[in-house]
Structure 1
Amino acid sequence: MHKLSLPVPGDDALAASSALQQLIIDDIHQHQGWIPFSRYMELALYAPDLGYYSGGATKLGKDGDFTTAPEMSPLFGATLARLASQLFSQTAAEVMEFGAGTGKLALDFLSECQLSGIAIERYFIVELSGELRARQEELLKGFPQVQWLQKMPDSFSGIVLGNEVLDAMPVDLVIKTADGWHEVGVAVVDEDSAPRLIFREQPQACSSDKIAQIPYADELPVGYLTEVHAIASGFMHSLASMLLASGKPAAAILIDYGFPAAEYYHPQRQQGSLMCHYRHHAHPDPFYLPGLQDITAHVDFTAMARAGLSAGLELLNYTSQASFLTAAGIADVLARTSPEQVMDYLPQANALQKLVSPAEMGELFKVLVMGQGVELPENLLRLDRSHRL
C-alpha cells in the first residue's frame, strides 16, 4: 500500500479494496501482464459491487470524498430548471440526467418545477448502480415523473443534463518519448511477495488516432505525460445518435471542470490532470486503495465538441459555469430569499459565491451545450466562448 497521509478506512472497506485489487491483478495477468490505464480506471470505478461508483461507499457530501454543485446548493438545480423551462417551448418537456449521484440535482430541478409551475412530463435518470438508484428512489419518491433507465435509449427529444459526468469516464495515458508517443498502462510487480500495481510504458508507439486530439503534439517536450479521452468522445457520439434519432429539437447541457485543447495540452502541463479524491483529500496516486477513491481527469472540451460535431450535432454554446449560471438567472433565484432572513439567506449567498467565483468553481468549470434545432436565450449567447475551442 502506498504511504499517503490520508484517513484510514475501516476493515470492511479495506477488504473490499483488496478484493478489487486482486480482480485487477487477475485481469492484468489475463492480458499478458499489461492493461491500458483506461481499463484499470474502468475496473477501479465500475467493477460490479467493488468499483468506486458501483460499491456501497458514500461518495458525495461531507461524509464522502468530494462535493458537487448540487450538493452545495439547491440554487444550482433550480437555475437549470428555469433555463429548461425556456427551452421546453422548443423541445419535448422531458429531461434525461446522466450521473445523477445521490439524486440531489433531480430533486432541486423538480422542486423548482413544482414551485414555479413548470410543466415537465418525465425526468429520466440513466443509472447503472443499483446502490445509487436505491438512494435516488428514496429521495425522489414524491415525484412520479421520475423514471430510471439502465442504458441510453435509442431516441430522445428533450433536455439532457450531465453534471460532472465526463470527468468520471476512463482515460488513456500517453507519454512523449524520444521515439514518439507511447501509451502508459498498468502492470504488476511483486515486492516481498506482495503484488503492487505500477505504471508501465508500452514499448511500441501508440495509435495515431489517440494522439490526434493533442494540438502541436510533435512540438511538446520529451517526457510530456497527458490523458486522451476516447471513451468520453465515444459517449458524445452515442449521445448525438440518441438526440438525432428523434429528428426533433433537443439539447444536451454538460457541466464539468476542464479546458479547451490549447490550454489542456499546454507545454507547462507536463504531468496531465489525473487526480484522485479520498475523504476530501486530493492526491495523484490512482493505485491507492482502488475502489475507495475517485479517479478523475479534467475534460478536454475541444475533443468533446469535435466528437459531437462530427456525429452531427450543433455546437450551441460553450462558456464558464459563472457566465452560464449568471445568464440563466441564478441571482434571481437567490433574490426570492430576503437578506433579512439571515439564517436562510447567508448560506445560499455563500454557496452562490462558490459556484460563480473565478477563485472557486466559476472559471474552472465550463458548460458545453450541444443539440439540434434549439435556439438558446440571447443573454446566454452573448457570453459564448466557442471560439476558444
Structure 2
Amino acid sequence: MRFTDTLPTPSAEALAHSAQLAERIRIAIIANGGSIPFREFMRMALYEPGLGYYVAGSRKIGKDGDFITAPEISPLFSQCLANQCAQVLTELGGGDVLELGAGSGIMAADMLARLEALHCLPERYLILDLSPELRDRQRQTLQRHVPHLLARVEWLERLPETPLRGVIVGNEVLDAMPVELFTLVDGDRVIRQVEIQGDGFDLVPVEGHYTSEFNPNLPGWMRSMADSLAAGVLLLIDYGYEQADYYRPDRTQGTLICHYQHRVHDNPLIYPGLQDITASVDFTAVAHAGLDVGFTLGGYTTQAAFLASNALETLFIDALQTNPADQYKLAQQIRTLSLPSEMGERFKVIGLNKGVAFTWQGFALASQQHRL
C-alpha cells in the first residue's frame, strides 16, 4: 500500500456507477439548501443503498480489491483471535460468536477451523454484513475451507433481537463508520460541509489551520453492542490512537484517508462509491462509550502484543512443522502483523466485558489501558 496523488482511471462502467451516486448526493445537497455535513457525504459514499462502496457489488478486499486486511495476510491472525475466543467461550460454558463485517469470509473460516481443533466450537457463528456480494463470497469461502462447519454459520442483516452469550468481534469495523469533519476556528469546532463544485464536490471553505474528525455515532453504536450481548465480550481490532495522540497539535490534517486499488490518498470527495474512506479510531472515545453503557474494560494493547499473548509463536512453529517449505512466507506474514513499522503498533486491540469477569489472556504480556 502506498500513498500517492496519482490514481488509476476507473473503467467506464465504474465511472457510470459513481456518476449515479454523485447525482444522488447532489440531490441531497440541493434539498438541504446547498450543502450537507461531511458525515452525510461519507455515509452516502459508503452505504447508500445499491450504490455505496460497502453495499454495491465490486470486490474490495484482497489483491483484486482496494486493500488487504490482517485475516487476508495470514491465517495466524485469525487463529490467535480464535484462541482468545476459546478462552471466553470456556469461561461462559459455551456460547456464540458474532462477527461484524466478515469481509471475504476467510477470518470466519480460519477461526472456525481453529476452534474446532481446540474442541471449543461456538454453538453458532453469526455474521452481520450489509453487502449481498460479500455474503455470497463469505459462503463460498466457508464452503471451500470448512464445508462440514457451514451448518453452524448464520447470516444476519441486523443485530440479533435476542441478546447472545459469547463474543462479538469486529476487525476493522470502527474505521469505516462515517465521521464528522471539523476545523478549529478561534478555538471552536466548525463542522465541515460539502457543497457542489462544478461536476464534483468540495468542502465549504473555513478559516482555520487544524482539521480533524470525531465519530458522533459511536455512543449509539456501543449501546447497540451492549444491548446485543447478554453476557460475554466485545473484541475490536483497528488502526488508531489514544485520544491524546489522536489530537496531537502537530496532527493538523486529521487522520482521514482513502483506499483505491491499493493506493492511499487524501481526497474523499472524488469517485464516490468507488473508493474506501476511513478515519483512524479514537480508542479513548471507544473505551468511554463502552463504560457509559455498562461494559467494563477488559484490556487494551497493540496488535503485536495481543497476538503474542495468544500464542502467535506457537502457531507459527506448528505451521512450520506442517509445511516447512513455507518458512519464508510465514515469517513475512508475522513481520507484517507484528512489526511496529507495519501493523504491529499501528493497530490496537480493545476488549470490553459484560456480565463476565476474567483476566484476558490477550492482554497478559503488555496491557496498555493506562494510556486511555
For normalisation by structure 2, the TM-score amounts to: 0.93
Q: What's the CA shift string for 1:148-179, capped at 9, x where partnerless?
A: 11111241210111000000000001111127
Distance 1:303 1:340, change over 3 A: closer
Which of 150, 155, 162 does residue 157 from structure 2 map onto?
150
Contact residue 112 and residue 121 of structure 2 kept, 8 A = no
1:219 maps to none
Shift in Å at residue 119 of structure 1?
2.6
Shift in Å at residue 374 of structure 1?
3.2
Q: 2:222 matched to 1:200?
A: no
Distance 1:78 1:179, change over 3 A: closer
Q: 2:278 matched to 1:270?
A: no
2:363 maps to 380
Shift in Å at residue 341 of structure 1?
4.2
1:140 maps to 142
Aligned residues: 361
Which of 152, 158, 163 does residue 171 from structure 2 map onto?
163
Q: 2:247 matched to 1:234?
A: no
1:81 maps to 82
2:209 maps to 223
1:68 maps to 69
Q: 1:162 corresponds to which letter in structure 2?
A: G
Shift in Å at residue 113 of structure 1?
2.0
Find the aligned partners of 1:242 and 1:379 in 2 and give their Cα distance: 23
Q: SS where residue 81 of structure 1 aligns? A: helix
Q: SS where residue 181 of structure 1 aligns? A: strand
1:273-288 correspondence to structure 2 within 5 Å: 273-288=255-270
Find the aligned partners of 1:379 and 1:135 in 2 and give their Cα distance: 30
Find the aligned partners of 2:285 and 2:171 in 1 and give their Cα distance: 17
Q: 2:197 matched to 1:189?
A: yes
Q: 1:256 corresponds to which letter in structure 2?
A: D
1:15-94 correspondence to structure 2 within 5 Å: 15-91=16-92, 92-94=94-96
Shift in Å at residue 345 of structure 1?
2.5
Bigger Cα displacement from structure 2, 28-37 vs 179-188: 179-188
Contact residue 82 and residue 328 of structure 1 kept, 8 A = yes
2:312 maps to 330
Distance 1:88 1:56, change over 3 A: same
Shift in Å at residue 353 of structure 1?
1.3
Q: 2:100 corresponds to which letter in structure 1?
A: F
Bigger Cα displacement from structure 2, 101-110 vs 173-182: 173-182
Bigger Cα displacement from structure 2, 166-175 vs 181-190: 181-190
2:8 maps to 7
Shift in Å at residue 337 of structure 1?
2.5
Contact residue 183 and residue 202 of structure 1 kept, 8 A = no
Distance 1:32 1:75, change over 3 A: same
Task: Give unmatched runs, 5+ long, in structure 2.
Answer: none
Give percent identity, aligned residues only: 40
Find the aligned partners of 1:95 and 1:88 in 2 and give their Cα distance: 9
Q: 1:84 corresponds to which letter in structure 2?
A: C
Find the aligned partners of 2:361 and 2:105 in 1 and give their Cα distance: 30
Q: 2:47 corresponds to which letter in structure 1?
A: Y
Task: Give unmatched runs, 5+ long, in structure 1.
Answer: 204-221
Q: What's the CA shift string for 1:332-366, capped at 9, x where partnerless?
A: 11111236944323212210111011110000000
1:113 maps to 115
Q: 2:285 matched to 1:296?
A: no
Find the aligned partners of 1:355 and 1:112 in 2 and give their Cα distance: 18
RMSD (Å), alpha carbons: 1.8
Find the aligned partners of 1:312 and 1:253 in 2 and give their Cα distance: 15
Shift in Å at residue 147 of structure 1?
0.3
2:296 maps to 314
Distance 1:9 1:327, change over 3 A: same
2:125 maps to 123
Find the aligned partners of 2:183 and 2:333 in 1 and give their Cα distance: 39
Contact residue 6 and residue 281 of structure 1 kept, 8 A = yes
Q: What's the CA shift string for 1:5-37, capped at 9, x where partnerless?
A: 211221111100111111111111111111111
Q: SS where residue 151 of structure 2 aligns? A: coil
Find the aligned partners of 1:201 and 1:52 in 2 and give their Cα distance: 26
Q: What's the CA shift string for 1:300-359, capped at 9, x where partnerless?
A: 000011001011100110000000000011111111123694432321221011101111
Find the aligned partners of 1:376 and 1:231 in 2 and give their Cα distance: 29
Bigger Cα displacement from structure 2, 252-261 vs 127-136: 127-136
Contact residue 87 and residue 376 of structure 1 kept, 8 A = no
Shift in Å at residue 4 of structure 1?
4.7
